Amino acid sequence: MGAERRGEIIRISDPDDPRIVEFKSIRERDLTGRDNRFIAEGTVVLRMLAAAHAGAGDFVAEKILLLENRVAGLSEELAAFPDDVPVYVAEAAVLDAIAGFHLHRGVLALGHRAQRRDATQLLDTLPETALVLVACGISNHDNIGSIFRNAAAFGADAVLLDDTCCDPLYRKALRVSVGAVLRVPYTRGGTIEENLAALTGRGYEVWALSPSGTTEIRSITAAPRMALATGTEGDGLPPAILRKFKSARVSQVPGLDSLNAATATGIALYQIASAQGRL
């Protein structure tokens, strides 16, 4: 028999109850950027938040809001949180009125990013053999979520986002990542030039991903410390970055547009991670 939650389950009958105000109208407004708080949605993301909270890492949970009929099926997930994290429950009509739309998953949590590190601080924590993804200008929340999911799947040790990338803690990005944003260490800030300089100063071999890259991704030879730089769809990486660093491409049949940024990044991460022997 699994562990059971000992803390109180609190029923909410009024959508305007001040105890759940952070969950109000979450489609129209997002908590990202407000005191490092964010909304986690769905069972898998809730499970990732529980693991992050238990690990005393970058993220902690503040409160949970559930559809009443989901409570029994989430007993193990709820037991993973400390008893002082309140769990609120509501019937479907009340929950929909709180969220501002039909919340068919019926699972929400309020999280807080307790620890923020800059690129230098994060890189100093990585092992001697490491793989880091560096992103520039990724402004689409689906792409940023998929990029984190790829990074987790292929064992990347960290993700460095420049200040032109969107926040991966945005509700949709976090959902698309299936909680991987809470698992893969990351920083967001500075320019891609500054982030790459921090990597090269620590002995990383940098490869810039581009449809016009000079080396096919399967031909890359592994190094102990490797970094893959990727840019936004359309413009891609800045020309100065492509001139300064070795560039790689993902081959595809002629006559088609370039791959989606997240798809190309996933293929490239797979090849580099395989070359490093981490898969």
Domain boundary (113, 134, 159) is at: 113
For tokens 């809470």, the residue is 182
pLDDT of residue 27: 66
* Whole-structure pTM value: 0.90
pLDDT of residue 1: 41
pLDDT digits (tens, 9 = 90+) for 123-161: 999 999 999 999 999 999 999 999 999 999 999 999 999
The verdict on 108 and 139 lying in the same domain is no
Q: Are 13 and 94 in contact (CB under 8 A)?
A: yes
Dihedral angle computed from the Cα positions of residues 167, 165, 233 and 202, in that order, rounded to the nearest 10 degrees = -120
The verdict on 262 and 139 lying in the same domain is yes
CATH label of the domain that carries residue 85: 3.30.1330.30
The verdict on 71 and 129 lying in the same domain is no
The verdict on 39 and 103 lying in the same domain is yes
**Residues 6 or more apart from 178 whose CB is under 8 A from it?**
42, 44, 45, 48, 149
Q: What residue ranges of the chain have pLDDT lower than 50?
A: 1, 32-33
Range of the domain at 172: 119-275
Pull the structure tokens for residue 115. Answer: 């620890």
In a domain, 67, yes or no: yes
The verdict on 63 and 146 lying in the same domain is no
CA 233 to chain centre: 19
pLDDT of residue 34: 60
Gap between the terminal Cα atoms of the chain: 33
